Amino acid sequence: MEREGQRKMDDKVALITGSGSGIGRAIALKFAKTGYAVIVNDIVQAAGESVLLEIQRDGGKGQFVLADVSDVAQVRMMFKETKKTFGRVDILVNNAGVPGAFSLIVDMPDETWQKTMSVHLNGTFYCLREAAKSMMTTGFGRIVNITSIAGILGTVGSGEYGAAKAGIINLTRTAAKELGPYNITVNAIAPGMVGTPTNLKLKEKGSPFIEIAEKGTPTGRMTSPEEIAEIVFFLSSEAAGNINGQAIRLDGGAAIDISMDQFMRDFLSKKSSFIKSVRRD
């Protein structure tokens, strides 16, 4: 079997789900700039094709696959297309997701719970399972799951989101134990508030949600998508070959602060118009 040290970086293939914008886009561009062939995945065709175009303009190589990770048939199709073009998948980054619903558990519709679980937890499982099958035949693989500090602490007003992210952390640990003997590592990254285009726009509007999040972070700011991309890339490298089954917090220390919970209680009790604006965005 071909081990990592025998395979050149520019021969490796990375599949990044939900890479049409935000965190996923930053990860896709990072891998492409360092010589990986990148499979860009998203449910928004224009967004995914735009990222692929960026990669190609910079001299990188890749492919865009339109697929909904919550649909197992589409996930299988995505991996089939990847194998057809590049022969295998060396790196899988499970990033696709949907935002929290800003709803207390007692008010949460069934559809909200089911949708969040379907995309975050089911989607991560479907992609991890397909990638693992391929990686086991080559004797090498790196899987990085994007979770959240909400999956570690729980977050008032985002019960479905926190539960899904907690499930991803446990799945990460189980997969790490099962796949480690095949030279496949599985890790997770748990960001706090991230400076995505949507959150940066909210900050510009003076959003109290962003303000309290940054104040509750010892470093005083959101984590950038590029910072997350750097850690994902490291976990996929030879240097991280014995890091396995970890959920790494990338939150500026926000996990040690609980002021957000009280803020969310106040927000939800007042039925703030801000919540409606977030849903529209």
The pLDDT, as a whole number, for residue 1 is: 44
Confidence class for position 261, pLDDT limits 50, 70, 90: low
Strand order in the sheet with 184-191: 61-66, 37-42, 13-16, 91-94, 141-146, 184-191, 247-250
Answer yes or no: 161 catalytic.
yes
**The one catalytic residue among 36, 126, 161, 182:** 161
Q: Are 131 and 79 in contact (CB under 8 A)?
A: yes
Q: Are 122 and 45 in contact (CB under 8 A)?
A: no
The alpha carbon dihedral of 69, 52, 13, 230 has a sign of: negative
Confidence class for position 259, pLDDT limits 50, 70, 90: low
Tell me the CATH number of domain 8-199+223-256, given options 3.40.50.720, 2.40.30.110, 3.30.9.30, 3.40.50.2300: 3.40.50.720
pLDDT of residue 253 exceeding 90, the answer is no
User: What is the mean predicted confidence (pLDDT) over 51-74?
Assistant: 98
Using the 8-state DSSP alphabet, how is residue 119 labeled? I
- The tens digit of pLDDT for each residue in 198-241 reads 888 888 888 777 887 887 788 888 889 999 999 999 999 999 99
pLDDT of residue 281 exceeding 70, the answer is no
Distances (CA, A) of 273 to 20, 112, 198, 260: 28, 19, 17, 18
Q: Spell out the residues 6+ positions from residue 152 whose beta carbon is closer than 8 angstroms to its own.
A: 166, 169, 190, 247, 249, 255
CB atoms within 10 A of CB 150: 22
- The tens digit of pLDDT for each residue in 185-210 reads 999 999 988 888 888 888 888 877 78
In percent, the amount of the chain with pLDDT more than 70 equals 87
CB atoms within 10 A of CB 106: 6
User: What is the mean predicted confidence (pLDDT) over 255-259?
Assistant: 60
The pLDDT, as a whole number, for residue 262 is: 67
- The tens digit of pLDDT for each residue in 103-134 reads 899 999 999 999 999 999 999 999 999 999 99
The pLDDT, as a whole number, for residue 5 is: 43
Q: Are 33 and 9 in contact (CB under 8 A)?
A: no
Mean per-residue pLDDT over the chain, rounded: 89
The pLDDT, as a whole number, for residue 272 is: 52
